[in-house]
């Protein structure tokens, strides 16, 4: 399922939102990095067009200052943002790499890449590609690169995806309950709900959603699949509220379906498999000796994978004995940052 399916996009061609972005191939970017190598490749433009979204990004990058400090950025570095999203972190990174640096942004979600393309400056030294960070070694090889100096992973979901009702992410979404980053891969959440057993549902709810009512909700969802299948995000949200007997919520209360949405999203995207393979293998394989990895996680299972990997002293020197968390001020302004944990490590050996 980890196919390298997307095409590269150079921001050299970007002329603003809501316009057409051609796709390109950049087979040979030398690691010593002459700008011209990429510039020349741009002459041989082929490919199909990609109409840009005219959305405006709403996502606020978490732990931005801490990430920038942790990555010890300087001009000339080659940096991968493996979860580029709307480009919030990447924008700050790109501004520190000078003319000779290189920024490669990956995302599984083409909508997010179009937002990133709009947010990032026009430059030959920025490349965007639809891919999982699991595929990073293959992506680098296709660019003629052996390794890079820094990798950032900011795991999970962007606020822009949450706001995209066409994929059923929101509680009031009337779009089909899909919940995938890349709708061409795997099964949608509605398809999973239609076929999962009670045990599978309970496992997802407990493990991925940390849902205390996992058994009750799993039985409810399996029953709905037989009698009145859940089709939209709103169906799911209302159904879970009914199942739990919650008629009213006080302002500021979490929606009772929050953990269920999280569990189904993680299952539909096989997120923990990507995190495991990405963190335990692709990250190390893609960094130069002495290179730095920074990972932000939002879920205890994700953070455990990162913590255990960075403890391997033959591979990593951990630079964060404890995870870095958001300041009180950031948590107040950006509630999403409350569960964020940043770990940074240097590749050894
Ligand atoms: C928290 S957002 C990143 C936000 C970004 N740092 C910013 O400042 O705008 C996470 C992003 O990672 C993407 N994503 C999730 N899993 C991924 C994977 N395995 N490989 C690449 N991108 C992934 C999602 O589509 C989403 O856009």
242, 211, 207, 166: CA torsion to nearest 10: 50
Distance CA 224, CA 342 (A): 39
Q: C-alpha 5: how far from its chain's center?
A: 16
- The alpha carbon of 154 and the centre of ligand 1 are apart by a number of angstroms equal to 6
- Exposure string of 121-146, with b = 16+ CB inside 10 Å and e = fewer, is eebbbbbbbbbbbbbbbebbebbebe
Q: Whose CA is nearest to atom 3 of ligand 1?
A: 85
Which whole number is the average pLDDT over 88-94? Answer: 97
Q: Which residues line ligand 1 (CB under 6 A)?
A: 59, 61, 82-83, 85-89, 106-109, 112, 132-134, 154, 156, 158, 181, 274
Backbone angles phi, psi at 275, to 5 degrees: -60, -45
Structure tokens at 181: 């980053």
For residue 110 the two structure tokens come to: 């083409």
Residue-wise pLDDT for 31-42, tens only, equals 333 222 232 222
Pairing mode, strands 8-10 and 126-130: antiparallel
186 C-beta neighbours (distance < 10 Å), count: 15
Please name the residue whose Cα sits nearest to atom 22 of ligand 1.
107
**248 C-alpha to ligand 1 centroid (Å):** 33
Name the least confident of 56-60, 124-128, 295-299: 56-60
Q: What is the pLDDT of residue 15?
A: 28
Distance CA 40, CA 80 (A): 22
Residue 338, Cα to own-chain centre: how many angstroms? 18
Nearest alpha carbon to residue 25 among 50, 38, 8, 40 = 8
Contact 175, 167 (CB under 8 A): yes
State in Å: Cα 112 to ligand 1 middle: 8
Domains of the chain: 8-159+271-347 (3.40.50.150), 187-268 (1.10.150.170)
pLDDT in tens, 299-344: 999 999 999 999 999 999 999 999 999 999 999 999 999 999 999 9
- Residue 279 confidence (pLDDT) above 90: yes
Residues 49-66, mean pLDDT to the nearest whole number? 72
CA 171 from centre of chain: 21
Distance 69 CA to ligand 1 centre (A): 20
Q: Is the pLDDT of residue 187 over 50?
A: yes
148-154/287-297 β-pairing? parallel
- Name the residue of 3, 58, 108 to mutate for ligand 1: max ligand atoms within 8 A of Cβ: 108
Average pLDDT of the segment spanning 160-179: 91
Q: What is the pLDDT of residue 247?
A: 84
Atom of ligand 1 minimally distant from the CA of 84: 5
Residue 240 CA to ligand 1 center (angstroms) comes to 27
Distance (angstroms) between ligand 1 centre and the Cα of 119 equals: 15
Decide if 78 contacts 145 (C-beta within 8 A).
yes
Structural element, H or E, at residue 153 = strand 148-154
| Alpha-helix residue ranges (DSSP H) falling in the chain | 35-41, 64-70, 88-94, 110-119, 136-142, 159-162, 189-195, 198-207, 214-227, 233-243, 258-268, 271-277, 283-286, 300-310, 328-333
Q: How far apart are CA 129 and CA 108, in angstroms?
A: 9
pLDDT at residue number 248: 83
Place of tokens 């949450």: 162
């Amino acid at each position: 399922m980890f196919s390298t399916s997307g095409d590269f996009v150079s921001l050299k061609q970007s002329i603003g939102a809501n316009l057409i972005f051609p796709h390109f191939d950049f087979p040979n970017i030398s690691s010593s990095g002459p700008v011209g190598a990429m510039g020349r490749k741009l002459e041989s433009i082929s490919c199909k067009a990609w109409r840009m979204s005219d959305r405006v990004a709403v996502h606020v990058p978490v732990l931005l200052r801490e990430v920038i400090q942790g990555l010890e950025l300087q001009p000339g570095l080659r940096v991968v943002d493996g979860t580029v999203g709307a480009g919030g972190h990447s924008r700050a990174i790109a501004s520190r790499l000078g003319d000779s640096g290189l920024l490669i942004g990956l995302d599984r979600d083409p909508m997010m890449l179009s937002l990133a393309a709009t947010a990032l400056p026009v430059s030959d030294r920025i490349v965007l590609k639809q891919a999982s960070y699991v595929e990073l070694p293959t992506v680098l090889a296709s660019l003629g690169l052996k390794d890079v100096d820094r990798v950032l992973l900011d795991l999970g979901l962007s606020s822009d995806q949450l706001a995209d009702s066409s994929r059923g992410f929101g509680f009031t979404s009337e779009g089909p309950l899909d919940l995938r980053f890349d709708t061409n891969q795997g099964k949608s959440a509605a398809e999973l709900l239609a076929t999962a057993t009670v045990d599978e549902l309970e496992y997802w709810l407990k493990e991925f959603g940390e849902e205390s009512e996992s058994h009750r909700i799993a039985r409810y969802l399996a029953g709905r699949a037989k009698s009145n299948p859940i089709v939209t995000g709103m169906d799911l949200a209302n159904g879970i509220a009914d199942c739990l007997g919650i008629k009213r919520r006080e302002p500021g209360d979490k929606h009772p379906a929050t953990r269920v949405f999280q569990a189904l999203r993680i299952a539909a995207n096989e997120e923990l498999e990507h995190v495991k393979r990405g963190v335990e293998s692709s990250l190390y394989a893609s960094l130069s000796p002495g290179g730095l990895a920074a990972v932000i996680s939002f879920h205890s299972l994700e953070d455990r994978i990162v913590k255990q990997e960075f403890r391997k002293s033959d591979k990593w020197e951990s630079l964060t004995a404890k995870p870095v968390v958001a300041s009180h001020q950031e948590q107040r302004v950006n509630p999403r940052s409350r569960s964020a944990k940043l770990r940074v490590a240097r590749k050894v050996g």
